[in-house]
Structure 1
Amino acid sequence: MYQLAPNIELLFTEAGDYQDRVRAAAAAGFTAVEMWGPTGVDAPAKPKDLPALKAALQETDTVLTAQLAEPRTQFMIPPWDHSEFYRKLDEGVAIANELDCPRIVVGSGTGFGGWKRQVQLDKLVEIYQKAVAQIEGSGITLVLEAVNIRVDHPGSLLDRTAESAYVARAVDSPFFGILYDLYHSTVEGEDVRAELANAGDLVRYVQIADAPGRGEPGTGAIDWEEALGILRESGYDGPIGLEYYPTTESAASVEYIRRLVSA
């Protein structure tokens, strides 16, 4: 059975602050959660209370499965100066280790119209080979996410699962893989079975939401019984992040996918 991890940016917001959302998720029977950036979108004015978040995770015996890199990876190739990403990466790794979070989610940022696509992908390989070398020994795995450009992330360079797999294979590290987001993949019109047949060995994390609308599973057109079956056939047995905008109260919104996973 898959371990489901509600995203505490989007789910259980009824409970209050982030640490309270962890407690609410645990009270609803979850053993894991995920989040976006470790300091939060309101930092520095109102950053996440990381000590309180850690206390809530420990108190409820809840695992934090993933957090985003800060700043959210926004490479434009060129310019060549990515020093802020590398500087903040060390801070992110320190926070991840403090919270016992094994994964940091990274991306590609926007593309550059004057460069061939292959050249840009190869530049991403260089960037992430350097990043993996920088955090060697930390135990943290970087997971590269391809996102849809049709609805949510227009202008992003990396929008195809196969291209994220290309970068991951070229980086060639056990501490670098891909995040397969079934929602983004579906919005881009990809065939889930074909994509996982090609990239399944590189998948280190999975996120889901229904499409269209990015609501909870069961509110869109995705056949979730089939999708979960394909995911299982691909060999993935890690946690699944619930990164969706609930259309109802959080605990109610997870009932359908929890029943499918438990079955």
Structure 2
Amino acid sequence: MFVEGHDDLASRIRAAHAAGVTGVEFHLWREKPLDAIAAALDETGVRLRSFCVEPRCSLVDPADHGKVMAAVADAIPVARRFPGAGMVVASGFTRPDVPVDEQFDAAVAVLKRAAALAAEAGAVLWLEPVYMVVNGQRMFVDTIARGLDIVAAVDSPGLRLLADVYHSAQTGEDFAQAIGERIPLVAHVQVADTDGRHEPGTGKLDWPGVMQVLREKGYRGDIGLEYFPTVSGVESLALTRRALGLDA
């Protein structure tokens, strides 16, 4: 978002602020100009809402658990520098010859350790269900329902769910049923339309219905825009606000 005329993240943050945005997110952090980002955030009052833990490692493969813990430990100083920023993790791909329960337990085990580390530092991990298929294998956590099952099993203030409406729709799960009565475990919601992963309103998802579910469940957090805009950042933001009923 806001790439037109803005070649660096700091200037994009300033452009987002000028358009009325109060929070921003970015993907991987290691190669980002953190000092320049911090200066732009301080100048504008915009908050960093999330960034991704890297490198991406498998939660469901115990052989990767040491790497998971090291990656989380590396990310914690970034989260502490930007208070309130969630540290996003994904599960890794399903292991085809391993029972589902064993993979579930492996994810819970490492996330218990990682969440304790995060909570001790005053930070929070966000588990993101991601719909992705590579070589016939799906991500192990690609539905909101399974993600919430894992967050509930970990049972720590250091772990919450990032509910991405686009990824959820790709799996065909019922959004309201997937959340159920567990909205307190959802820290953040991201949106994009299907097909194409563009602004809400450009595809086939029922955005009034999605927003009604969130309101009825009691969600009071931010809405993150994780999509490929079809127009300029300012125009795209206006279209999204209209589609979500937030333009009043």
User: Counterpart of 1:261?
Assistant: 246
AA partner of residue 13 (structure 1): V
AA partner of residue 174 (structure 2): D
User: Counterpart of 2:200?
Assistant: 217
Secondary structure of the corresponding residue to residue 120 of structure 2: coil
CA–CA distance in structure 2, aligned partners of residues 109 and 17 of structure 1: 30
Give the C-alpha shift of residue 73 in structure 1: 3.6
* Residue 67 of structure 1 pairs with residue 67 of structure 2: no
AA partner of residue 51 (structure 2): Q
> What RMSD in Å do the two structures reach over aligned CA positions?
1.8
Name which of 50, 59, 76 aligns with 1:93. 76
Equivalent residues of 1:107, 1:158 under 8 A apart: yes
User: Counterpart of 1:5?
Assistant: none
In structure 2, list runs of 5 or more residues that go unmatched.
none
CA–CA distance in structure 1, aligned partners of residues 44 and 175 of structure 2: 35
Secondary structure of the corresponding residue to residue 157 of structure 2: coil
Percent same amino acid at aligned positions? Answer: 37
CA–CA distance in structure 2, aligned partners of residues 124 and 81 of structure 1: 11
Equivalent residues of 2:143, 2:167 under 8 A apart: no
Give the C-alpha shift of residue 135 in structure 1: 2.6
CA–CA distance in structure 2, aligned partners of residues 188 and 221 of structure 1: 15
User: Counterpart of 1:53?
Assistant: 37
Give the C-alpha shift of residue 30 in structure 1: 0.9
Give the C-alpha shift of residue 49 in structure 1: 0.9
Residues 67-102 of structure 1: CA deviation (Å, up to 9, x unaligned): 111112434525x24222212212211011112243
CA–CA distance in structure 2, aligned partners of residues 38 and 32 of structure 1: 16
Give the C-alpha shift of residue 150 in structure 1: 5.9
In structure 1, list runs of 5 or more residues that go unmatched.
1-10, 40-46
Give the C-alpha shift of residue 198 in structure 1: 4.7
* Residue 195 of structure 1 pairs with residue 178 of structure 2: yes
User: Counterpart of 2:121?
Assistant: 138
* Residue 12 of structure 1 pairs with residue 6 of structure 2: no
Which structure 1 residue ranges, 4+ long, deviate > 6 Å from structure 2?
none
Secondary structure of the corresponding residue to residue 206 of structure 1: strand
When normalised by structure 1's length, the TM-score is: 0.87
User: Counterpart of 1:8?
Assistant: none
Secondary structure of the corresponding residue to residue 230 of structure 1: helix
Higher relative contact order (CA 8 A, sep 6+): 1
User: Counterpart of 1:161?
Assistant: 144
AA partner of residue 65 (structure 1): R
Give the C-alpha shift of residue 237 in structure 1: 0.4
CA–CA distance in structure 2, aligned partners of residues 208 and 255 of structure 1: 14
User: Counterpart of 2:131?
Assistant: 148
Q: Cα 1:262–1:248, aligned 2, differ >3 Å: closer, same or farther?
A: closer
CA–CA distance in structure 2, aligned partners of residues 239 and 60 of structure 1: 18
AA partner of residue 124 (structure 2): T
User: Counterpart of 1:227?
Assistant: 210
CA–CA distance in structure 1, aligned partners of residues 198 and 64 of structure 2: 37
When normalised by structure 2's length, the TM-score is: 0.92
AA partner of residue 145 (structure 2): A
Equivalent residues of 1:211, 1:221 under 8 A apart: yes
